[in-house]
Amino acid sequence: MQVSAEQQLKKEIGFTVALALVVGTVIGSGVFVAPGAVLKEAGSSSMALLAWLLAGLLTMAGGLTIAEVSTQIFKTGGLYVYLEEVYGKTVGYLSGWMQTVIYSPAVIGALGLYMGSLVAGLFKWSEQWNIWIGIGTVVFLAVVNSLGTRFGGILQTVLTVAKLIPIALIVVFGIWQGEAPVLGGESGFSGGGNLGGAILACLFAYDGWIIVGTVAGEMKNPAKLLPKVIFAGLALATAVYLLVNVALFDVLSPEKVATLGANAGGSAAEILFGEIGGKLITVGIIVSIFATLNGMILGSSRIPFAMAERGQLPFSKFLSRVHPISRVPVVAIACQVMIAIGLMLVSNPDKLAQISVFAIFIFYILAFFAVFILRRRNRGIKRPYNVPLYPWIPVLAILGSSFVVVSTLLTQPRDSLMAIGIMVIGLPILWWLERKNKH
């Protein structure tokens, strides 16, 4: 009997690596650069902390809901596979198409360029090195992940631990030595008090957790592992975001955090640890981005691989190949990295990533609603995991994602329509491939 490419994937991912994938992907550069932006929207430190907490709870609701869906669909591909299994080929294809051609490569490209800029700045190199450092980093991580899931997983675990060290130092010493009032401090910017806008900014910082579902086919026991990993990872990420904000407010005061913006973390580190503190926090951000980048390359490549398994991409036979030794989808990894490098060279990946986030949250809504469909479809069948407080947790997840979609559509209509346009372009390709496969 012929073994499918997906069955050839090696099941090497355990709890530690999966947890590192969630935490490493969610806690990126946003933990250092987002507090100021959120505070400006919120208007006060109390409202900002409330926004981080509510956004964390909304994300947790989404994670717990997806856990029930994912434990009934043990396949590689994550969101793409969930939607295909529940809604059919076309809806699943559109989500996979968006993630393959824009979302994942744009995020990888943006992280690579940002990292190149930070590394060049740290060593006082000229700006022309930014893009080459970024490309070199992306290629290096692609090679590491092509050697096997175990190597990429070990690197992800080490990087996640490493990125938490500078965060822990700022939290512990900031809360211990800081003297500024944490609660009730005003941002000093007019137009604050927008709790909805603050929550929206926080939700974008929490995004990326669902990437763990893309490697479910390589997990040792996904039925038990996925719910635990998603809950633990998002709980840890929420705690980290809250504690970092408390430490920054305690050391700098809320008004200074809002004024300094992305530089607030470095300024707090200089106050706490002296001149070397600024460099320490820069290294911490670099490590943080490196871990997020590794997690994206590890997880995102499984989406075109899963699509190629179903013949839904051009050159599907090529893209669905699994290396006979490392047993990872090396061609799919190369595909994602090549698109990312192309975006790094000719476009603005940050803008493309923002555009694609709108479309991703549309698919999040469908994925959360899928829990109701699966319960009706599989009535009477015992489930490995049940989302707690059903149906309120899934409803909360749907409302949170709907808030992101509607807010983005109202504030950025042009970018939102562009995202829909890119998504629709994939349909003629699907129809052409289906016609070709029939013949």
Per-residue model confidence as pLDDT tens digits over 400-429? 889 888 887 887 788 788 888 888 888 888
HEC string of 383-424 equals CCCCCCCCCHHHHHHHHHHHHHHHHHHHHCHHHHHHHHHHHH
Q: Is the pLDDT of residue 233 over 80?
A: yes
Q: Which residue has the higher pLDDT, 9 or 208?
A: 208
* Stretch among 191-195, 260-264, 338-342 having the lowest mean pLDDT: 191-195
Would 314 be classed as within a structural domain? Answer: yes
* Stretch among 79-83, 145-149, 164-168, 406-410 having the lowest mean pLDDT: 145-149
* Stretch among 64-68, 194-198, 209-213 having the lowest mean pLDDT: 209-213
Q: Is the pLDDT of residue 324 over 50?
A: yes
- Give dist(CA 131, CA 111) in Å, integer: 11
Write out the H or E segment, with its range, that includes residue 427: helix 413-438
Output the pTM of the full model: 0.77
Q: What is the pLDDT of residues 153-198, one digit of tens each?
A: 677 677 777 777 878 888 888 887 766 666 766 666 665 567 777 8
Per-residue pLDDT averaged across 188-213, rounded?
72
Listed ranges 87-101, 108-122, 338-352, 388-402; the one with the highest mean pLDDT: 388-402
Q: Is the pLDDT of residue 74 over 80?
A: no
Q: What is the pLDDT of residues 343-399, one digit of tens each?
A: 888 766 556 666 667 778 889 899 999 999 999 988 878 887 888 888 999 999 999
Q: In DSSP terms, which residues pair with 43 in a beta bridge?
A: none
Q: How large a percentage of the chain has pLDDT more than 70?
A: 82
Q: In DSSP terms, which residues pair with 44 in a beta bridge?
A: 186
Summary mean pLDDT of the chain = 79
Structure tokens at 431: 């129809």
3-class secondary structure, 13: strand
400 near 61, Cβ under 8 Å? yes
Residue 365: per-residue pLDDT: 92
**Closest residue by Cα to residue 300 from 351, 259, 252, 334:** 334
Would 121 be classed as within a structural domain? Answer: yes
* Cα atoms in the 13 Å half-sphere on the side-chain side of 8: 19
Per-residue pLDDT averaged across 107-112, rounded?
83
- Give dist(CA 291, CA 237) in Å, integer: 14
Q: How large a percentage of the chain has pLDDT more than 90?
A: 7
Q: How confident is the model at residue 6 (pLDDT cuts 50, 70, 90)?
A: very low
Would 5 be classed as within a structural domain? Answer: no
Q: How confident is the model at residue 95 (pLDDT cuts 50, 70, 90)?
A: confident
- Give dist(CA 304, CA 301) in Å, integer: 6
Would 197 be classed as within a structural domain? Answer: yes
- DSSP letters spanning 311-363: T-STTHHHHT---TTT-S-HHHHHHHHHHHHHHHHHS-HHHHHHHHHHHHHHH
166 to 23, 134, 161: CA distances (angstroms): 15, 22, 10
CA 18 to chain centre: 14
Q: In DSSP terms, which residues pair with 13 in a beta bridge?
A: 219
Element counts in the chain: helices (H) and strands (E):
20, 0
Amino acid present at 11: K
- Give dist(CA 200, CA 181) in Å, integer: 25
Would 4 be classed as within a structural domain? Answer: no
156 near 20, Cβ under 8 Å? yes
Q: How far apart are the first and last CA of the chain?
A: 25
Q: Is the pLDDT of residue 15 over 80?
A: no
Would 439 be classed as within a structural domain? Answer: no
* Stretch among 7-21, 57-71, 241-255, 390-404 having the lowest mean pLDDT: 7-21
Residue 5: per-residue pLDDT: 47
Would 29 be classed as within a structural domain? Answer: yes
What residues contact residue 434 under an 8 Å CB cut-off, 6+ apart?
Answer: none
3-class secondary structure, 186: strand
259 to 31, 35, 179, 245: CA distances (angstroms): 17, 11, 18, 14
**Closest residue by Cα to residue 422 from 341, 371, 362, 373:** 362
Host domain of residue 278 = 10-433
* Stretch among 89-103, 248-262, 372-386 having the lowest mean pLDDT: 248-262
Q: Is the pLDDT of residue 248 over 80?
A: yes
Per-residue pLDDT averaged across 61-77, rounded?
80
Would 208 be classed as within a structural domain? Answer: yes
398 to 61, 65, 256, 330, 362: CA distances (angstroms): 9, 10, 35, 35, 10
CATH number at residue 394: 1.20.1740.10
DSSP state at residue 209 = G
Q: Which residue has the higher pLDDT, 430 or 266?
A: 430
Q: Is the pLDDT of residue 312 over 50?
A: yes
Number of domains in the chain: 1
DSSP state at residue 3 = P
